[in-house]
Structure 1
């Protein structure tokens, strides 16, 4: 049975903890995909700044993104980020990251539901996410939660010091 986690909307004050989780989760999830140099070069301070950077950061005031954080008691253990895309009526799940100790315990599902609710309440009919094709854990999670792979959008990107194939997933009919 999944544990109950407290989910709330993130604020700029959360940028440091969101950045910490982002880096820890990235290092765990992509250790066999990204280069060691890239992973070792990640900086909490730099990542926190990117979250609040004016006119760019998803936690910057006035930006149309829903960033949600998950807590186990008073400890932040994950976050997710959703917002608009160039496609009318479709939101994008930009990120969903968890402290590796909390994978499979229900926090990811709770964060995904918060993002889907946010997207639906802001008029989006569907939600998409892009994932590295070699990230089998994320792909399985998306598929378990009702997303389907949209393989015709598979493409190669440069990320993490390497070139990787990505696949788009789609959750249709948010409401």
Structure 2
């Protein structure tokens, strides 16, 4: 099946919420507390995505208009690191993981950050996330480590970063 990549629209919030919740439930099953995953609701995530800046979310959709993945990005939030852009979230439905959509979405985030005049990009990934290796294929530097607590359980996370978004975009384009 073919997939297109486009900037999200306000009316995409409901489908983005489904991808967000379903992706968490498949990716983090057995990693984070089941009670946390069960408490995630489409409605709460829809409210979150309905309020997102329209120029900072990109979606992947199939030929039927079904959103199967998304990425969100913008300025680096903490100002603690020497990176000016951040990939906040990238989620794909399990059935399309490994199809190349993730790489296209990271490219869209890099290009979006470049358009916003950012030079570099940071992202946080939970160490137990089975997709961590996906990011590592694009040779980021390890920037920091932290602990993220969910339902009283600590989870190690790592900040990965790319100092040159132009270079990252070129590498991603080679593989697309």
Deviations 1:100-155 (A, max 9, x none): 000110110110000000101111111010011111x32101011232322xx211
Of 136, 141, 156, 1:148 maps to 141
Distance apart, 1:5 and its partner CA = 2.4
Task: Name the one with the larger helix percent.
Answer: 2
Of 96, 99, 113, 1:102 maps to 96
Of 58, 70, 75, 2:60 maps to 70
Deviations 1:39-82 (A, max 9, x none): 11111011101222xxxx424x6xxx510000121221100000
Q: Say yes or no: does 1:46 pair with 2:39.
A: no
Structure 2 residue ranges without an equivalent (≥5): 167-176
Give the distance between the partners of 1:160 and 1:70, measured in 2 at CA: 31
Give the distance between the partners of 2:162 and 2:67, measured in 1 at CA: 26
Give the distance between the partners of 1:148 and 1:72, measured in 2 at CA: 33
Give the distance between the partners of 1:50 and 1:17, measured in 2 at CA: 12
Give the distance between the partners of 1:132 and 1:50, measured in 2 at CA: 21
Give the distance between the partners of 1:132 and 1:157, measured in 2 at CA: 8
Of 2, 6, 15, 2:13 maps to 15
TM-score by length of 2: 0.85
